[in-house]
């Protein structure tokens, strides 16, 4: 399937239109389908309605016990009849332990449709799935980087194109709804789901969330090549105090609004049709019962009109785990009254029965039920499910096509971040003899991470034979006889480190592939952020060889590598780059492509030194004392190239900004090296004095540009007062008069925002 004719075409498109502004998605249309919904609702009984609000796992329709199927899903006619006809269940999800062919998905979906057509209302079932870096539960689907990798591209147009692949291949699998994108900010590398998000910055994450949502939903989500997006996990999920999945977070409302809400808000404005709720608790309140967050903010302020689904089993957890309800029924009443529309139950049939009782006993008002059912029906109508759930298989000729593979390859290439390149050791010469070693060298798993074919992403057997590991890709590029391989160690145990060190003596350079295996959710909880000793020891042993040592880090979150950074001549980060990762890494190692990825999060230098790039001055106790200074290993936004860029002076269109005015910030960038390269020009602003201790800097704009050798481009950003706003004491966005410092690379300039008073914004 290797094919490059599309490359030139794709590069042309991207280099000409990277990060352009796009028009808002018209999927968000108040009042659309109102009459049709009213007609359907008029014919619905309470049983029909509570059924609509129920989402069950496919296990509940299959032979065997949920959570415990010992073979691939085989639908059980009795269960189909009971769940879909008797209980009128409106939504099914997932697959979990297996990936299926499109043909098998067709069988599943036609069977489900057959039964849902038997119920009086005939309302179609809404099937949802975690298609999060491609359609990762359909065999043969195109898998591209996970979200952290996408964010590292800083290329929103590319991300939209990749999202379109998921939409296309998911609909080609007859499924209209993906539980993606993750809008949670990854501000703590201990959190095991960091790689599922777009990194630590709200601006970058917002732009990326919009880009992916547009790719999924397009102009019209009922199109046979689009699906509904589901923003998750609303809100505050990603900052638990312990760093462990689904543990408590304490986030002041001010911070919630300034950091954690914006990506959700941006994607809601772009028309996202659904949202999934945070499983954890924030400030002591499980989000699933937090009416302020679920209704006042989400509906009242953000204007979200779509469907709010719980996360996995979360209503039951309200009494089994959070202990805010005495039993399932009370939990249901609390959650539905707070604003939940659909319960991802997922593995028992009690929810609709108990919800019906809640209504009959006056615990949940009928109006609340009608509101939720209206939202659910609107999503089903917007997806066109009432008209056509199935499109002919031949409508999807691009499924698993070279064209999609090429796009995934581009995504992988742009997501790779070159973190170190001492004395320009990279790119390596193609005539070099290479030792490839390390636990991630010869496996597809650490290239892809979780949610890949199976929930934990840990089944090597699912990968197609022609997908290349890093080792295989290097062998293919150089010829197998130039490449030797010794495993060295597993993720945490020594295997044959001495042999690797011996083998290093007879080659020209060593490529050490280290990092993390795949993990999903709590399975990725960590007790130590340091890269395991066995892997560090492998690097130590190889560095004694005096041969150039190139580290390829394939990992979902930045593991601490402080002690081995100095031993390495070059370091490339692959933040789960997908099935094309091996190929992309080889091509960057040997110079076929020039790296352009930039870190979407801060790479910490030590496990007790976890501060994001936009910390407060007080976070640096050692700000005036080098001894105590926290030094990230690599800064947010950092990433090298094989060429060099020189920045001109930073200039402004004026010395001051006024409340209604704009300020243009300009800088020129020249490619002073000998290769074509892409650079991400990043504009940071610092509020020098503010009523709330300000961040030392905040990303306020960025643009990815491509430059030929010797070429100069001028980049400009237009700033308004609202672009400098923060959330003040009264929880409102505001910009205060005073001085601001702008920074692009090392260039800095100060200007004043002149205003008689503080200016407030709706954001």
Q: Are 683 and 702 in contact (CB under 8 A)?
A: yes
Binding of residue 198 to ligand BGC (CB under 6 A): no
98 binds ligand BGC (CB under 6 A): no
Write the burial class of residue 124 (CB in 10 Å: 0-12 exposed, 13-18 middle, 19+ buried): buried
Which residue(s) pair with 496 in the sheet? none
Q: What is the DSSP letter of 724?
A: G
Angle CA 192–196–198, to nearest 5: 115
Question: Is residue 312 part of the contact set for ligand BGC (CB under 6 A)?
Answer: yes
161, 188, 290, 311: residue in contact with ligand BGC (rule CB under 6 A): 311
The distance of closest approach from Cβ of residue 128 to ligand BGC in the complex, given in angstroms and rounded to an integer, is 8
Q: Which helix (H) or strand (E) holds 538?
A: helix 533-543
Q: Which of residues 127-146 bind ligand BGC (CB under 6 A)?
A: 130
- Which residues, 251 to 290, sit near ligand BGC by CB under 6 A? none
Using rule CB under 6 A, residue 232 touches ligand BGC: yes
Residue 94 touches ligand BGC, criterion: CB under 6 A:
yes
Integer angstrom CA distances of residue 396 from 27, 129, 130, 561: 23, 19, 20, 45
Closest CB to ligand BGC among 276 and 585?
Answer: 276
Nearer to ligand BGC, 304 or 634 (CB): 304
d(CA 106, CA 91): 17
Question: Which residue, 286, 287, 344, 280, is CA-closest to 310?
Answer: 344
Count other Cβ atoms within 10 Å, centred on residue 630: 18
Distance CA 670, CA 683 (A): 17
Question: What residues have CB less than 8 Å from 408, skipping those under 6 apart?
Answer: 134, 142, 143, 144, 162, 165, 578, 579, 580
CB nearer ligand BGC, residue 81 or residue 521: 521
Q: What is the closest distance, in whole angstroms, from the C-beta atom of residue 63 to ligand BGC in the complex?
A: 21
Q: How far is the CB of 703 from ligand BGC (least distance, A)?
A: 32
Shortest separation between residue 178's beta carbon and ligand BGC, angstroms? 9
Grouping H, G, I as helix, E, B as strand and the rest as coil, residue 414 is helix
One symbol per residue from 103 to 132: x for binding ligand BGC (CB under 6 A), - otherwise; what is it? Answer: ---------------------------x--
**Does residue 550 contact residue 425 with C-beta atoms inside 8 Å?**
yes
Among positions 431-490, residues that touch ligand BGC (CB under 6 A) are none
DSSP secondary structure letters along 274-291? EEEE-SSEETTEEGGG-H
**Closer to ligand BGC at the Cβ: 264 or 312?**
312
Is residue 679 near ligand BGC by the rule CB under 6 A?
no
Q: For ligand BGC, which residue of 521, 592, 752, 754 counts as binding (CB under 6 A)?
A: 521
Specify the residue, 521 or 741, whose C-beta has the smaller distance to ligand BGC.
Answer: 521
* Alpha-carbon distances of 57 from 62, 80, 314, 450, rounded to whole Å: 9, 12, 14, 19
- Least distance CB 597 / ligand BGC (angstroms): 25
Neighbours of 460 (CB within 10 A): 11
Between 234 and 753, CB nearer to ligand BGC:
234
> How many angstroms separate the CA atoms of 294 and 277, rounded?
8
Cβ(185)–Cβ(200) under 8 Å?
A: yes
CB of 215 closer than 8 Å to CB of 226: no
Query: Which residue, 344 or 354, has its beta carbon nearer to ligand BGC?
Result: 344
Taking the complex as a whole, the smallest distance from the CB of residue 717 to ligand BGC amounts, in Å, to: 35
Taking the complex as a whole, the smallest distance from the CB of residue 184 to ligand BGC amounts, in Å, to 10
User: From the CB of 342, what's the least distance to ligand BGC, in Å?
Assistant: 12
Alpha helix segments (H runs only) across 328-401: 328-338, 350-360, 366-382
Q: For residue 496, indicate whether it is catalytic.
A: no
CB of 89 to ligand BGC, least distance (A): 16
Q: By C-beta, is 137 or 638 nearer to ligand BGC?
A: 137
From the candidates 290, 311, 569, 723, give the one annotated as an active-site residue: 311
3-state secondary structure 394-407: HHCCCCCCHHHHHH
Min dist. Cβ of residue 230 to ligand BGC (A): 7
Residue labelled with tokens 């599943």: 108
Label each residue of 71-135 as H, E or C. CCCCECHHHHHHHHHHCCCCEEECCCCCCECHHHHHHHHHHHHHHHCCCCCCCCCEEEECCCCCC
CA dihedral for 262, 264, 267, 269, sign (positive or negative): negative
454 versus 561: smaller Cβ distance to ligand BGC = 454
**Residue closer to ligand BGC (CB basis): 129 or 364:** 129
- Please report whether residue 179 would count as binding ligand BGC according to CB under 6 A: yes
C-beta closer to ligand BGC: residue 93 or 418:
93
Between 231 and 568, whose beta carbon lies closer to ligand BGC?
A: 231
**HSE value, Cβ hemisphere, 13 Å, CA-based, for 499:** 12
Task: Check binding of 368 to ligand BGC (CB under 6 A).
Answer: no
- Residue 537 CB, shortest distance to ligand BGC, in Å, is 35
590 binds ligand BGC (CB under 6 A): no
CA 422, chain centre distance (Å): 31
Residue in this structure with the two tokens 């925002």, named with its chain if needed? 753
Tell me how far, at minimum, the Cβ of 307 lies from ligand BGC, in Å: 14
Q: Are 604 and 632 in contact (CB under 8 A)?
A: yes
Q: Give, as ranges, the residues between 688 and 727 that touch ligand BGC (CB under 6 A).
A: none
Query: What's the CA gap between 608 and 630, in Å, rounded?
Result: 9
| Count of residues that interact with ligand BGC, criterion CB under 6 A | 7
Using CB atoms within 10 A of its CB, is residue 307 exposed (0-12), middle (13-18) or buried (19+)? buried
Question: Which positions are annotated as active-site residues?
Answer: 311
- In the complex, the residues that contact ligand BGC under the rule CB under 6 A are 94, 130, 179, 232, 311-312, 521
């Amino acid at each position: 399937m290797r094919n490059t004719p599309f490359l030139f075409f794709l590069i042309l498109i991207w280099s000409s239109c990277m990060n352009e502004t796009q028009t808002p998605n018209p999927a968000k249309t108040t009042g659309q389908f109102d009459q049709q919904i009213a007609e359907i609702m008029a014919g619905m009984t309470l049983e029909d309605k509570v059924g609509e609000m129920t989402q069950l796992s496919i296990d509940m329709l299959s032979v065997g016990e949920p959570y415990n199927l010992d073979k691939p899903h085989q639908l059980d006619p009795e269960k189909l009849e009971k769940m879909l006809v008797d209980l009128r269940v409106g939504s099914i999800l997932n697959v979990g332990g297996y990936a299926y062919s499109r043909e098998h998905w067709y069988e599943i979906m036609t069977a489900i449709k057959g039964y849902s057509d038997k119920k009086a209302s005939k309302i179609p079932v809404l099937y949802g799935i975690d298609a999060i870096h491609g359609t990762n539960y359909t065999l043969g689907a195109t898998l591209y980087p996970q979200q952290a990798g996408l964010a590292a591209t800083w290329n929103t147009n590319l991300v939209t194109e990749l999202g379109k692949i998921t939409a296309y291949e998911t609909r080609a699998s007859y499924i209209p709804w993906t539980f993606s994108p993750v809008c949670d900010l990854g501000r703590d590398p201990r959190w095991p789901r960091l790689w599922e998000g777009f990194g630590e910055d709200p601006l970058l994450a917002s732009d990326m969330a919009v880009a992916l949502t547009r790719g999924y939903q397009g102009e019209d989500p009922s199109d046979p090549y689009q699906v509904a997006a589901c923003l998750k996990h609303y809100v505050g999920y990603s900052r638990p105090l312990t760093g462990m999945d689904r543990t408590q977070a304490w986030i002041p409302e001010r911070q919630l609004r300034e950091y954690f809400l914006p990506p959700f808000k941006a994607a809601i404005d772009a028309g996202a049709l659904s949202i999934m709720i945070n499983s954890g608790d924030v400030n002591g309140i499980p989000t699933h019962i937090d009416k302020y967050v679920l209704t006042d903010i989400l509906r009242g302020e953000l204007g979200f009109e779509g469907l709010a689904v719980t996360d996995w089993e979360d209503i039951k957890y309200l009494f089994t785990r959070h202990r805010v309800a005495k039993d399932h029924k009370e939990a249901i009443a609390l959650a539905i009254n707070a604003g939940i529309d659909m319960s991802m139950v997922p593995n028992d049939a009690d929810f609709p029965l108990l919800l019906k009782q809640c209504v009959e006993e006056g615990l949940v008002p009928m109006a609340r039920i009608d509101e939720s059912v209206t939202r659910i029906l609107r999503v089903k109508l917007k997806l066109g499910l009432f008209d056509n759930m199935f499109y002919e298989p031949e409508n999807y000729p691009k499924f698993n096509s070279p064209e999609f593979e090429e796009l995934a390859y581009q995504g992988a290439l742009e997501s790779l971040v070159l973190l170190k390149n001492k004395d320009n050791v990279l790119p390596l010469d193609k005539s070099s003899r290479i030792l490839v070693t390390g636990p991630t060298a010869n496996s597809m798993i650490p290239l892809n991470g979780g949610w890949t074919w199976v929930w934990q992403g840990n089944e090597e057997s699912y990968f197609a034979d022609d997908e290349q590991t890093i080792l295989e890709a290097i062998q293919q590029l150089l010829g197998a006889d130039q490449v030797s391989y010794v495993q060295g160690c597993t993720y945490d145990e020594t295997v044959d480190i001495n042999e690797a060190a011996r083998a290093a003596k007879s080659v020209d350079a060593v490529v050490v592939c280290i990092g993390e295996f795949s993990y999903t959710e709590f399975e990725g909880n960590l007790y130590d952020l340091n890269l395991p000793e066995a892997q560090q020891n492998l690097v130590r042993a190889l560095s004694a060889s005096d041969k150039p040592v190139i580290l390829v880090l394939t990992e979902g979150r930045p593991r601490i590598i402080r002690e081995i950074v100095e031993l390495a001549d070059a370091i490339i980060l692959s933040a789960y780059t997908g099935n094309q990762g091996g190929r992309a890494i080889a091509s960057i190692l040997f110079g076929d492509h020039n790296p352009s990825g930039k870190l979407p999060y801060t790479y910490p230098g030590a496990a007790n030194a976890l501060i994001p790039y936009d910390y407060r001055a007080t976070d640096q106790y050692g700000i005036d004392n080098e001894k105590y200074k926290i030094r990230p290993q690599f800064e947010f936004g950092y990433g090298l190239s094989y060429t060099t860029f020189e920045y001109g002076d930073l200039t402004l269109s004026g010395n001051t900004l006024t409340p209604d005015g704009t300020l243009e910030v300009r800088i020129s960038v020249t490619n002073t090296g000998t290769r074509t390269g892409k650079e991400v020009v990043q504009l940071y602003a610092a509020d020098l004095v503010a009523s709330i201790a300000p961040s030392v800097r905040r990303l306020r704009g960025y643009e990815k540009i491509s430059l030929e050798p010797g070429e100069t481009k001028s980049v400009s950003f237009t700033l308004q007062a609202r672009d400098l706003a923060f959330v003040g004491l009264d929880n409102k966005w505001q910009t205060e008069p005073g001085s601001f410092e702008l920074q692009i690379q090392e260039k800095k300039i100060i200007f004043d925002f002149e205003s008689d008073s503080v200016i407030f914004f709706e954001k």
